[in-house]
Structure 1
């Protein structure tokens, strides 16, 4: 338990003393949540009366850390430790009665004590982020515990579009449209609950231009009959609904979106985002939490239909790369298959590639060679 500052001393040292009974009454009322004004009394008297109360009542159950069974011969030490705990609890209650802000601002779960959410990313980081202090184990109540993503923004709100401006012969409104549609694709492909359950990502497909050769046919083929050459996971996040589900409804997201001018009449939207998914097994109420981390780099373009043979209101996909942290190797059924802490071993092929930190956003994503499946250093 954190130590609590004592109440401020009054400058009036000549105030008359009070009886033990009055002080005892005040301390009892404070311990029960009463709000009676605090009488003035030297600290030595307070300790004497607190000791009297301690001998009559059990100490409050405020303890830090796990409990353990004391060894033989330690009963006296245990009693002394309990007495100290009782004094600390009573002192804390008295401080709350006198100056509540000293303690209430430090209560667990209070906004003032929570770790602040990181500001939106504006440039490529210079290194990998550190783990949370102590690296605690993920739980269903705290599925991001121990992960750098614990301080990341969540969901669609984490995808922040830059300010639109006229660029490459296209007006500000056209550029704003391109940014908005790029965000819609990212959200539909990676955050839509139905898509995460394996349903068709129709809203994401609708962003893309049907005049772009091969792209949409290839994506639709990957969704209907996935294999190693036609893998929907290259653009869409999907988990087997019979195997896993999200632990809660929060997905953590970090990244950035930038604008660039292409050829005349072409605006490029570059997006680089990492998504962290906490997962549990289906029909396993008490099982552990796993996290799968996916990083995607995509470049979409808005082409002026007056200059290019494109469909108005649609975007072209110039390139897209993806990395997946914590999923089985060489499984091409169109779903991600995370490993859990209590698994005996990987469900797919054993990783043979280099080790990678999936939270390290300081390095570019360049794609991987066929069959290159490494091991993540953390999830």
Structure 2
């Protein structure tokens, strides 16, 4: 039996159905991510686990116990929000200790636990500081420590890093993952950021319109999207129909739609094919509309007849960028065309 079992979760606000019989399992010590666009139901599902929303149908079980009807304070679930929600008039120590004081632990035990978790989240030396004296990243560490110190059965995180700048966000992603592994804690993380989900998750549940449309390990989700929605949401996939492929390359495919990753497509300027036979893969002609540098990747927009393709290549010094307006050949390995349901 899985540690967390959600079965047929249903939630409706007025006439809007937010969760449509959602079912999922989470193993003990696993970090899973609910990934999807705004309004897909991921935060509502998280809040339902915490008891901040009441389901209109379905059950939530943790470690074999049905917690669906329990009040939040009896669920032993920790939660970290996007807004830090710290008490401005309390020090770091007192903010973290608040939950333990509510449980009426002794002062010595509280001090021991708080000092341990302060060190765990790398806030040594900040115990007597107030929230306004901390950076955004440090304040979120306090919020995380406050949730961890009560030793919850599950830690729920609702887009906790989205308000931070990119550099601090990446650092906290790494730190959060390390803490989760060290503590072997079960965590459910909500985000709309695909890269963040790929970075921290054991498994990802992709949500859309109140349903889970695909689940799996990050590598599986990225390399094998099942639907056009997942392909377009999870990355910069090109989605072509069999008729598009036939018109552009002359190659017949099984009827349906195909997802093609931008990094598997190859550009050959001036018709050069570098000794690759034209029967190896799909070949089409196009013109470069634009090129943008995205760190270690150059991203090209290529027009081929009535279709615009996104094509990525490594930004390496020995290979110069191709100019806008250049006519080029594009090679697509046939095995890189993922059939969509």
TM-score range, shorter chain: under 0.3
TM value normalised by structure 1: 0.24
> Which structure's relative contact order is higher, taking Cα pairs within 8 Å and 6+ residues apart?
2
Bigger radius of gyration: 1
More strand by share: 2
